[in-house]
Chain A
Amino acid sequence: MRLYDQIFNVVKKFKELFSPGPVTNADVSGSITAEIFIIVSIVIAALLLRHVSLLLAALATLILAIVLINNIPLLPKFKIEQEDSLEKMLFYAVFVLGLIVIFLYWGGTLV
């Protein structure tokens, strides 16, 4: 029952996602598809860790699945982070640059 309420709230939250105007069936069903798609694809992508360590993959998959499902609606959070303002774009660009450099400098020879 709790999950059902949560999904119902998701649909209500979606209304804020769209620019002002009526929200149609197609938009809401698209958003629910996106929600499920994000959860499933991230969990499947986490399975790729099994090439590093089987235990790590199992743990990561379980933890991700629990965290993601408990945090629906994910889509508003995703969408706010990917909006068009220059500040967010620049922040993520520099953040990813930092990640790549750190990852390569200290972890480049480990893989």
Chain B
Amino acid sequence: MNELIPLMVIVPMMAALLLSAFSRFNKVIKCLALVVGICLPIIPLASNYGLHFFGGYQPMVDNVTNILYHPAITYSFDFMQQIFIAMVGLLTFLVIFIYLTKYKKASGSYLFLLFMGTAAVTALILTDDIFHMFVFFEILALAQVGIVAASSIDYSYEMALKYMILGSIGSPIMLLGIGFLLAMTGTVNVTDIVSIVRGGLLDVTSPVFLLSLGLIFFGWLYASGLPPFHTIKSGIYSKAEPHGAALLQSFTVISMISIVLIMFRIYSTLPIFEVLIVLFSVVAMILGVSMALTQTDFRRMIGFLAVGELGFIGLGIGLGTQYALTAGLFQALNEIVITALLFIGFGAIVHATNEVDTRKLGGLLAYHPKVGIMLLIGGLAMAGVPPLSGFQSKLMLVQASLSCGYPELSILTIMVSIATFVVFVKTFYSMFLSPKPHDLEVVDNEVPKAMVFAMAILLIVIIALGLFPDVVTSGISNYVGGLLL
């Protein structure tokens, strides 16, 4: 059933094109979007693991050097890809469900952007071809800009243009790095590059190879929103519609891990690669959380928290052992779910009050108890309170950094978790528990049912992953073990 592997990208992309072509027929695109949304998480779960060679060009053996060459664009599908694609598919379905129930008249172009983004991240995580990765990285950036610009929040165009301008510095620099690699190896297939590097056919200490690492690394910083791009990343989260932001952060996390895993495979022989990743992750954690503590706009605050949490993923990958990588990837999975829950929940509050300033809110627990409780559990999960999923992955990260001989990083991890907790408690207190200001009018007493439904599903995932982390971690651990060979 390996035919399903390319379908994971083709289905959302086809759906995107059809939706934008037939955007005049409201009923048709609503049905189509819903059906494709349901299919998205099912396809990866039904598919078998394996490789897919586009155009059917099978790998060729070079008779002189005995190296296997891959002439085709290759997609590799394993447990790690399966779980992440299924999770993004689920999230896309929930977001589309919220969108379709919120607006009577669905916009084909907006649905196009959502599906195109999903197709792009799916291709990013599946691909084994470094240029293919770059192409979808650019398509993803365009889709993200579109999602931000489509929102009706003030200054969303400005933020979208800023993101685009920074992106048009980040991505050509990454292309330059890919060009350096191509010049040294003559191929863009990651497996081939890895076998050339490991086979000693390439001088890994040459400045060109090091420079290619630096340039691709800079592109990765842009894709993942680590410093210096943390301000713009949190900015676009706060300027997108809440359900759009929930999807945007999952795009960020997945593009982060898929690019860093490709870099890890190529450059893990260089010790400086791990130093760089740990350095930027630590800076991201410090800056993200400390900026989140001073925000009064709660959308921006979640945005900064989401960026700070990315540091945990980077930390796990930077430590470089099997356990640490597993912990980092598991943290990535948890972050996708938890941050989506928080964005949707706070989006429900915006919908109900038309207010984003925590200083002007208060006493909402009496009006929206269900949303309040679910947000509280989500926030606790993000801060790493047992028995929720965030706790499991953060515990793994602390153990991993201890066993690698970096107790400082463990302390830092715990401190950042505590600060995250402070941020969340502060916001939750001033929004839900403090006395209600006199001039606050709760415009719409009903939170949309679709939002509550989406939050409930995400909450079930959080609790299930917290109670039974082995379901995911053992599979990821096997995958990582294969990666480290």
A–B direct touch in complex (beta carbons closer than 8 A): yes
Instruction: Give A residues with C-beta under 8 Å from B.
Output: 17-19, 21-24, 26-27, 29-31, 33-34, 37-38, 40-42, 44-45, 47-48, 51, 75, 78-79, 82-84, 86, 89-90, 92-97, 100-101, 103-105, 107-109, 111
Partner of A94, one of B169, B411, B419: B169
CB distance from A59 to the nearest CB of B (A): 16
Partner of B286, one of A45, A83, A89: A45
Q: Does B296 contact A (CB under 8 A)?
A: yes
Q: Does B34 contact A (CB under 8 A)?
A: no
Given A26-B426, A30-B426, are A104 and B213 neighbors across the interface (CB < 8 Å)?
Answer: yes
Q: Which residues of B contact A45 (CB under 8 A)?
A: 282, 286, 408, 412
CB distance from B346 to the nearest CB of A (A): 17
Task: Please classify the interface of chain B as helix (H, G, I), strand (E, B), loop, or mixed, using the class held by over half of its residues.
Answer: helix
Contact in complex: A48, B408 (CB < 8 Å): yes
Contact in complex: A82, B291 (CB < 8 Å): yes
B282 (CB) vs chain A CBs: closest residue = A45
Contact in complex: B211, A104 (CB < 8 Å): yes
Contact in complex: A82, B287 (CB < 8 Å): yes
Contact in complex: A30, B416 (CB < 8 Å): no
Q: Does B73 contact A (CB under 8 A)?
A: no
Q: How far is the CA of A56 from the CA of B15 in the complex (A)?
A: 58
Contact in complex: B214, A17 (CB < 8 Å): no
Sample 13 A-B pairs with CB under 8 A, ordered by A number.
Answer: A17-B294, A26-B434, A34-B290, A37-B419, A45-B408, A51-B406, A82-B230, A82-B291, A84-B159, A89-B229, A93-B229, A97-B218, A105-B211
Contact in complex: B293, A84 (CB < 8 Å): no
B162 (CB) vs chain A CBs: closest residue = A86
Q: Which residues of A contact B289 (CB under 8 A)?
A: 34, 37
Given A37-B415, A93-B228, are A111 and B409 neighbors across the interface (CB < 8 Å)?
Answer: no
CB distance from B419 to the nearest CB of A (A): 5
Given A37-B290, A93-B169, are A100 and B276 neighbors across the interface (CB < 8 Å)?
Answer: yes
Instruction: Give B residues with C-beta under 8 Å from A.
Output: 159, 162, 165-166, 169-170, 173, 205, 207, 210-211, 213-215, 217-218, 221-222, 227-232, 235, 270-272, 275-276, 278, 282, 285-287, 289-291, 293-294, 296, 357-359, 406, 408-409, 411-412, 415-416, 419, 422-423, 426, 429-430, 434
Contact in complex: A96, B221 (CB < 8 Å): yes
Q: How far is the CA of A23 from the CA of B423 in the complex (A)?
A: 16
Q: How far is the CA of A3 from the CA of B452 in the complex (A)?
A: 49
CB distance from A108 to the nearest CB of B (A): 4
Q: Which residues of A contact B227 (CB under 8 A)?
A: 92, 96
Q: Which residues of B contact A107 (CB under 8 A)?
A: 272
Q: Which residues of B contact A104 (CB under 8 A)?
A: 210-211, 213-214, 272
CB distance from A86 to the nearest CB of B (A): 5
Q: Which residues of A contact B272 (CB under 8 A)?
A: 104, 107-108, 111
Q: How far is the CA of A89 from the CA of B217 in the complex (A)?
A: 18
Contact in complex: A93, B166 (CB < 8 Å): yes
For the A-B complex, the count of residue pairs with Cβ-Cβ distances under 8 Å equals: 141
Contact in complex: A30, B412 (CB < 8 Å): no
Q: How far is the CA of A105 from the CA of B245 in the complex (A)?
A: 37
Contact in complex: A89, B415 (CB < 8 Å): no
Contact in complex: A38, B214 (CB < 8 Å): no
Q: Which residues of A contact B426 (CB under 8 A)?
A: 26, 29-30
Given A45-B282, A89-B162, are A34 and B294 neighbors across the interface (CB < 8 Å)?
Answer: yes
CB distance from A13 to the nearest CB of B (A): 12
Given A26-B426, A33-B419, A75-B290, are A108 and B296 neighbors across the interface (CB < 8 Å)?
Answer: no
Given A75-B294, A79-B294, A100-B217, are A44 and B412 neighbors across the interface (CB < 8 Å)?
Answer: yes
CB distance from B432 to the nearest CB of A (A): 12
Q: Which residues of A contact B214 (CB under 8 A)?
A: 100-101, 103-105
Contact in complex: A105, B218 (CB < 8 Å): no
Given A45-B412, A93-B228, A100-B276, are A105 and B207 neighbors across the interface (CB < 8 Å)?
Answer: yes
B207 (CB) vs chain A CBs: closest residue = A105
Given A22-B359, A104-B210, are A33 and B408 neighbors across the interface (CB < 8 Å)?
Answer: no
Given A34-B294, A47-B408, A108-B210, are A84 and B228 neighbors across the interface (CB < 8 Å)?
Answer: no
Q: Which residues of A contact B232 (CB under 8 A)?
A: 89
Given A93-B228, A104-B210, A104-B214, are A38 and B294 neighbors across the interface (CB < 8 Å)?
Answer: no
Partner of B166, one of A19, A41, A90: A90
Q: Which residues of B contact A33 (CB under 8 A)?
A: 293, 419, 422
A79 (CB) vs chain B CBs: closest residue = B294
Contact in complex: B359, A89 (CB < 8 Å): no
Partner of B359, one of A24, A34, A51: A24
Contact in complex: B170, A93 (CB < 8 Å): yes
Contact in complex: A21, B412 (CB < 8 Å): no
Closest 8 CB pairs of A and B: A108-B210, A34-B293, A92-B228, A104-B214, A111-B272, A34-B290, A30-B293, A100-B214
Q: How far is the CA of A100 from the CA of B276 in the complex (A)?
A: 9
Contact in complex: A38, B165 (CB < 8 Å): no
